[in-house]
Structure 1
């Protein structure tokens, strides 16, 4: 098969981006593949193009509803109609219709890890000829699976139930430990690895120390006033996201919105589309925003609060400069909020005393537990909705204990508490180590790009002119004053063809 011809016929592109063709070739040879491509490197093409060459259906596990909807719309806009997403956006009648028809008529089927735990959908998918099982943003298996989305850790079991189709795991950022997790939990016995450079030479790196919170706010306003939009500003809490959004709007910043997981799905998708369509220039957001955003002209990513690990930082700054323009990632660092990342880590997993209290009460109530139903978990979550992620974590760990030991009762209670608490302590310790590594990076006097790449076991190959603040930066390059320079396409005249392409999701991204 001539992949270059297939690429041109199906996408209109005359050549592959680095790494794409090799990944697709191995996928078509029905090999399990773990592929790392940088953000904006065209990961989606690595499952879309093989889909045209395979007889059966491609199942894509996608982490976010907004990302899933975006991927579906992009495929439809390119003329592919045999695509569907199985998610909570579907009405009851739409779900029932899909359960009643032959899903083999769909070439691409998007689904969340949680939907793959629903028995009726597994049974339905078992009637489908699945030629490829794709896990998009596969770092979530490790990054989220151990914490609040434990269904990621069950994907290997799901794959076996679906006949063990060839598997493609795609990500933009992964250390050796994360790659090992992906291989383990997706039950990939002998995968082919395609590890491409995650360096983004067109994104300059800068960490700026500020004295206190007040100075940080003022500096944020200065930067947003001066920097060429579009831009993304990351915060560590919903409250701060809204508070600083209000502060910026009160000080004359226009075309700005805030985004976090507390908004409704409809609100989030609307804001995302307004940003994609250049109706909004600046997004104040938590880490809930950005995954899979197909926007080529983001010029800066600001971190008002620092992430808790390097992996998150690289994923977030990678949303800048996807079209190749000179862009900047700037982190504001204040000693006054130095404890915030530690606080976040301390609250991501259940408190040890809470775990002990809950398990003791379960034994008192049920005397002996041999199995747990999803309905029981649902009842628990409804009783304690503010602790949903903790309940999901505990439910997963308790099921794991029951599989190993058979039952939970007064005799095995102490062992169960000990095992679950040990896992929490180990996971929390690992997160603190990652935070310490990231803190070292923010205070280094060495080349930030070189140190960032070393964290991912990669060596820096070429010196870059606009590299980082430690190597020397000309900040004016990113200023609105220079928006008509050759490094920017921000002020290009917008033709009606370009507007239509945006409306129908046809940005030139492969």
Structure 2
């Protein structure tokens, strides 16, 4: 083993308690320590936080971690503190007055500094950041640059400028899901050329997660089926919804119907309560979380046995990211997508933007009209106007985004309706080969709980033991085989 690798393994064992690196970790860390820009696409549960945490103990310069959610930042900070790291800071709106001023004057003394894109453009914060000699800049959940930046969190579009302001330290961009097109978009929006970025890409395929789709004619059948699944599937699990209101309503109904510990989780719940729910779920005190997409980033619970989507996700990227939270311990798990009429329209409504005319946008840009005439999303459009965009440029950009959203939703619908193996569809979408797969979904194996299939799974590394196998078979045979439920 080369001398530099010996040091990496020593730090891995001493600081993090691991004997070996996961696939893709060592290659990524080598590139970071060589001063390269890196885009790492590793599957959910692939240990992406280690990619910057371990180099932090070798580079010995501050590392800036740009993260999309306060809960995700807090989770990473808590984990570092449990490992004994004290030199860690979260820059957020909660840091105020003298406490913020003191932290900004001492940035160079911290090892890890976490911040959202929005806080980075605060003038006082930005000035302080420019005074530090950074060892590494990290963009966690880097797919947000492509998917969120244009029409949800436009501050992501300023990360290229911020990277330049910080004198271009080595850049690490990490995500669990990114098609070749999205990877190119991430690199372009961060202001780099493909030749300037080393890409470490591993398959999104998680063969221990069985894929299934169930169709329903009405909402009542869907709810009844969900109750049956939760009463018989191994726990814990996550049920995803597109609506906060429905997530809360269904969670309440399930509590009454099942006597299970079920909780709703979404952005409308106060942050302190959301954190408490996260901790209860991690400790097993909550068995089922009924959540919107606000739940999941930073939740590293290894024994989630199922992920059910009550509503249609907006894209295969979102779907793969969310189902990847199941079965991180390598044991057999399942992902069930429940579909009923009108689900696609929910996503169309959620992604729709009430776009003003180019003329109206220009009138606001020239201060001839107040920004409030731009409607409920005035702040979003004002961001573009304040950064030099003209009305027609904004309109064209949002039309392009709408077209892309519809394309992704079309691919998501094809996943449901096509006869092709579901895992093969996902591999095709992400531009990956898929070879030597056992039956893996309800298309390939409608009676997938037959003995020969399960025996093949049991022979896989980290598979379920015999007792678990029998438990799964007895519970799922009557639930998931075709024709066993009137709502299918």
Query: Does TM-score exceed 0.5, indicating one fold?
Result: yes
> Deviation of residue 246 (structure 1)?
1.7
The equivalent of 1:326 in structure 2 is: 332
Q: Cα deviations across residues 49-99 of structure 1 (Å, max 9, x unaligned)?
A: 111100211111011000000000101101111111111333434213213
Counterpart secondary structure, 1:319: coil
Could you say which residue in structure 2 is the equivalent of 1:474?
A: 449
Tell me, in whole angstroms, the C-alpha distance in 2 between the residues paired with 1:451 and 1:32. 31
1:392 to 1:174, Cα distance in 2 relative to 1, 3 A: farther
SS at match of 2:434: coil
- Structure 2 residue corresponding to 1:16, chosen from 9, 13, 21: 21
Name the CA distance, whole Å, in 2 between partners of 1:463 and 1:117: 47
Q: 2:467 aligns with which of 479, 485, 503?
A: 485
315, 318, 330: which is aligned to 1:312? 318
Q: Give deviations 1:369-428, integer Å, cap 9, x for gaps.
A: xxxxxxx98xx6xx99x93xx2332023213445xxxxxxxxxxxxx4333222221110
CA contact (8 A) 1:345 1:432 kept: no
Match in the other structure for 1:452: 426
Instruction: State whether residues 150 and 392 of structure 1, in contact with CA within 8 Å, keep that contact through their aligned partners in structure 2.
Output: no
The offset of 1:272, in angstroms, is 1.1
Distance 1:267 1:90 in 2: 20
- Of the three residues 143, 149, 163, the one matched with 1:145 is 149
1:49 aligns with 2:24: no
SS at 1:152 equivalent = helix
Matched, 1:280 2:253: no
Match of 1:442 among 372, 395, 416: 416
- Determine the structure 1 residue equivalent to 2:347: 341
1:248 and 2:268 matched: no
For the aligned residue pairs, the C-alpha RMSD in angstroms reads 2.5
| Residue aligning to 1:89 | 94
Deviations 1:244-301 (A, max 9, x none): 1122112123211101111111111111111111111111111111112111111110
Structure 2: where are the runs of 5+ without partners? 458-463, 473-488
Q: What TM-score, normalized to structure 1?
A: 0.84
Instruction: Tell me how far 1:134 sits from its aligned partner.
Output: 0.5
Q: What is the TM-score of this pair, normalised by structure 2?
A: 0.87
Aligned partner of 1:108 in structure 2 is 112
Taking the TM superposition and a 5 Å limit, the aligned residue runs for 1:287-302 are 287-302=293-308
Q: Give unmatched runs, 5+ long, in structure 1.
A: 369-375, 403-415, 491-510
Match of 1:495 in 2: none
Residue 481 of structure 2 is matched in structure 1 by none
| 3-state SS in 1 of match to 2:258 | coil
What does residue 196 of structure 1 align with?
202
Q: Distance in 2 between matches of 1:483 and 1:342?
A: 43
SS at match of 1:34: strand
Structure 2: distance between partners of 1:484 and 1:153: 51
Please tell me whether the aligned partners of residues 361 and 391 of structure 2 are also in contact (alpha carbons under 8 angstroms).
Answer: no
| 8 Å CA contact 1:138, 1:169 repeated in 2 | yes
Shift of residue 362 of structure 1? 6.4
Structure 1, 22-31 or 453-462: larger mean CA deviation: 453-462
- In structure 1, the partner of 2:77 is 72
Distance 1:358 1:244 in 2: 41
Matches within 5 A, 1:417-432: 417-432=391-406
Quick check: 1:32–1:188 contact (8 Å CA) kept in 2?
A: no
Residue number in structure 1 paired with 2:378: 391
CA displacement, residues 288-345 of structure 1 (integer Å, 9 cap, x when unaligned):
1111211111111010001111111111111111111211110111124342222222
* Shift, 1:165, TM fit: 0.2
How many correspondences in the alignment? 453
